Amino acid sequence: MRWLNALLRPPVRVILITDLIAAPAVIFALNRLDSQHPLALAAYLLSAYALTVTVISFRRIIRRLRILLAGDELAVIRSIKAEIRKHKYTRLYLESREFRAEAGLYAGLAVNLLYAAFKGVTGALAGSPWLGSMGIYYLFLGTIRFALMRGVRRAPGGSTAAVKLHEYRVYRRCGIRMLGLNLAVAGMAVQMIRQNKANDYTRVTVIITAAYTFYSFILSLYNAVSFRKRDNAILSAAKNLALTGACISMLSLQTSMLHVFGSGEDPRFRRTMNSVTSATVIAAVLCIAIAMIVTGTKKSAYYLRKSEEENHERG
């Protein structure tokens, strides 16, 4: 089985080169080639392979990139770091993990809002209620991200118990909002399955949807690795929110691909696939939201008692 291990776990440089080749190849195939063209099939297979080995070796890739970025092995990295340290905020981004995590929330919010605008505009142009509702969904997802950023900004000083109490209250509120969003997604999914209509998506829409889906999954994996050792409930909420967005993006990508790649002629297949994926996504998000609410409630009660005890001792 050595050959299989070598195939699925190639060197990091091979994975990165494969990713760089696969991305433009599949974009070209989607835009210029028929879905049954041999080159298109080769591009899809290469893209699937690239995604598989990237996910399998994700931690190894991140570790290697961190070594390259943190060290002085590359001359170009040394020169970039020297320039970064000349400015206050870029220096903070380089040296402070908490600042990088907060900056990541802002970046995620910006991408989220841009994608929401894209879904809303394409939904209006194509006359697609599903795309329009997805745009509204991502807009509300952006408001939850904004609430998390405010939670980070408004974190109180003082005792550890007071800080943790604030974090878990924000964490619980995020779970409650996610529960509400999941109900909206369930309603949209039921409507989509009952109508069982193939939406008229363009290939550009599919490409952008696929790019955002891969971005969401990569971001959620990165957050899972980056935040796993940090005792910060707000960052954990951001990780769960990124995973939720990735799940919904996968559902949106599926509805696009089912039409573009010809399954729109088979209503039963389309309904089955949309039903299974919708049920899986809704169940996953529901479990995440409930777990956040339960954990946030228990931890909030615990740290509230600790905070009251500390205040009583000081008083």
> Does 160 map to a domain?
yes
For residue 128, give both structure tokens: 């697609």
Number of structural domains the chain divides into: 1
Asked if residue 10 belongs to a domain, the reply is: no
Q: If you write DSSP's letter for every residue of the chain in order, what string do you get?
A: -HHHHHHHS--HHHHHHHHHHHHHHHHHHHHHS-TTSHHHHHHHHHHHHHHHHHHHTHHHHHHHHHHHHHSS-SHHHHHHHHHHTTSHHHHHHHH-HHHHHHHHHHHHHHHHHHHHHHHHHHHHHHT-HHHHHHHHHHHHHHHHHHHHHHHHHT---S-HHHHHHHHHHHHHHHHHHHHHHHHHHHHHHHHHHHH-------HHHHHHHHHHHHHHHHHHHHHHHHHTT---HHHHHHHHHHHHHHHHHHHHHHHHHHHHTTGGG-HHHHHHHHHHHHHHHHHHHHHHHHHHHHHHHHHHHHHHHHHHHHHHHH-
Q: What is the pLDDT of residue 32?
A: 80
Establish if 291 belongs to a structural domain. Answer: yes
Q: How many whole angstroms separate alpha carbon 186 and alpha carbon 45?
A: 32
Q: pLDDT exceeding 70 applies to what percent of the chain?
A: 77
* 72 is a domain residue: no
Kindly state whether residue 43 falls inside one of the protein's structural domains. Answer: no
In angstroms and rounded to an integer, the radius of gyration of the C-alpha atoms of the chain is 22
Q: 303 CB contacts (<8 Å, ≥6 apart)?
A: 161, 162, 164, 165, 168
Q: Is residue 42 part of a domain?
A: no
Would you state the pLDDT for residue 79?
Answer: 74
The pLDDT, as a whole number, for residue 123 is 74
Residue 55 covered by a domain: no
pLDDT of residue 101: 67
Which residue range(s) make up the domain with 165? 96-315
Residue 23 maps to a domain: no
User: How confident is the model at residue 94, as a pLDDT?
Assistant: 66
User: 94-103 contacts: CB < 8 A, separation 24 or more?
Assistant: 97/230, 101/226, 101/227, 101/230, 101/232, 101/235, 101/238, 102/149, 102/152
Per-residue exposure over 47-67, b if at least 16 CB sit within 10 Å of its own CB, e if not: beebbebbeebbeebbebeee
pLDDT along the chain (315 residues), means of 10: 78 86 85 80 87 84 73 65 70 70 73 79 74 77 80 68 86 90 80 64 71 76 64 82 82 73 64 85 90 92 83 66
